[in-house]
Amino acid sequence: MDLGLDGQGALYEQLARALKGAILAGRFAAGSHLPATRELARMLGLSRNTVLGAYELLCAEQLAVARGGSGTRVADLGPPHARAARLATTRPSRYAARARRLGAPTLGVTLARPRYNLQYGVPLLNPRLFNSWRIKLAAAALRTPPGYPPAAGLSALRAAICDYLARRRGFVCAPEDVVIVGGTQQALTLVARVVLDEGDTAVLEDPYYQYAMRALVAHGARVVTVPTDRDGLVTEQLPARPVRLVLVSPSHQFPSGVVMSLKRRIELLQATARHNSWIFEDDYDGEFRYGARPIAALRSLDGGERVIYVGTFSKSMFPSLRLGYIVCPRGLREDLLTAKHLDDGGCPAIDQAALAAFMQGRQFEKHLRESAAELNRRRCALLEGLARWVGPHIEMSESQAGMHVIVWFPRLNYAQLERLIQLGAARGLGLHAVHPHYRIPPPRPGLLVGFAGLSCAEIATATEILGRCVSELVQGA
């Protein structure tokens, strides 16, 4: 008997799944005997107890019937065509169908872990932070009530966020304006549910964050990309027809790193006011700036009328924390709170309580200052290494914020860039192309180079390896 086991879980569970598949495929007729337990155990090289366990599972699922003295028989499941109809995959929802068509994301995150991975989007991990966090988490676990938390989030955390935003991001909001969410991605999903119907138009900056594009397309929005230049979103190229939502990261555009100028910010606010549109402000990497004054958030110019401000602790703390927040415009406050309540009922209360205590004690801002200083050291190491080992072959898009830089190769084509990435991988160097973040690839290839995940010494080694790979590629051309 050909019963392939899938290797997942206990042997009796594997055997039960194999028999279930055979029964549902019609290989065993209704009412027919399943093989005797001793016989099947001998045929498959299993113990009799394993077979007995599998038969018990089949009976529990009503796929088989055990009768004392007459063995185990296959249950009557109806005609084969009826079974096939029940087993056939039903037509997916429009959302699921759109998500399927998107396929796998082409982001730089890979399963392989190169020794020197210049991965963007990886935050700085400070061991001292984890020691402090464990203490806060243990204390929070003792004092946090065991019931469900408020859907909007704990009041202590929402108040701490308001205090932080007033001092660091240049605008005042009330705790009732804040909804705690599971990061920027959940924030975008909730906003899309509240402000977008299928077929509505949403605007993305080009280049863009891939998961933002995917979330909007899966939702059913008609996504229009508008280019950016050295002053940020080119507001003159916004669609003439009204749009429902404009997504921007004005303080540090991803991935270009440009800062939206004051003139463009005002133009964007005026355009959305004319068309009765909403602005989704993603304050990506807004906490980390080097040698430059902090830039006030776009919402500071808006007064809370049109800008949906979103922040996250994934980069400032660590990604597995999965906490972020939405500062809601007054007109959307109740709808966003309802969407959050329906989505998951609220974020974990113990984590929220620990984060509130961390922020109230000003440990969060001390951590940000230390992280910014260390990130600047790593950034300087990267710039020095690139200048030393690859300088003649590259141009850099200088950015005074964030955790990555873009390195352009004006004399290479895209096939050569792919070869460069392969050469690096063979030497333990992780390199990541920037063009997947563009709707139309830019005229010259480039790399999105992160520096937060490696020490200064490792960055020095990584840039030396990159220089050797580039030299080998150029000499072989």
| Angle CA 218–224–229, to nearest 5 | 125
Confidence at 18, pLDDT banded by 50, 70, 90? confident
pLDDT of residue 250: 92
User: Which architecture characterizes domain 116-123+368-476 according to CATH?
Assistant: Alpha-Beta Complex (3.90)
pLDDT of residue 404: 92
Distance between CA atoms of residues 320 and 288, nearest Å:
20
In the block, residue with structure tokens 């109740």: 334
Cβ count near 194 (within 10 Å): 19
Mean pLDDT of the chain: 89
Supply 3's token pair: 């019963």
pLDDT of residue 25: 79
pLDDT of residue 70: 76
* pLDDT beyond 60 at 85: no
Kindly calculate the radius of gyration of the chain based on its CA atoms and give it in whole angstroms.
28
Confidence at 290, pLDDT banded by 50, 70, 90? confident
Confidence at 458, pLDDT banded by 50, 70, 90? very high
Mean pLDDT calculated for residue range 251-272: 92
Domain ranges of the chain: 11-87, 116-123+368-476, 127-365
pLDDT top residue among 90 and 377: 377
Instruction: Give, rounded to a whole angstrom, the gap between the first and last alpha carbons of the chain.
Output: 58
What's the pLDDT tens digit per position in 134-177?
999 999 999 999 999 999 999 999 999 999 999 888 889 999 99
CATH number of 127-365: 3.40.640.10
What's the pLDDT tens digit per position in 104-143?
665 444 446 799 999 988 888 888 888 889 999 999 999 9
Shortest CA distance to 463 belongs to which of 409, 385, 376? 385
* pLDDT beyond 50 at 102: yes
* Domain 11-87 class in CATH: mainly alpha
pLDDT of residue 90: 64
pLDDT of residue 110: 47
pLDDT of residue 108: 45
Residues 6+ apart with CB under 8 A from 141: 350
pLDDT of residue 4: 78
Percent with pLDDT over 90 in the chain: 59
pLDDT of residue 109: 47
Distance between CA atoms of residues 69 and 62, nearest Å:
19
Supply 15's token pair: 């055997």
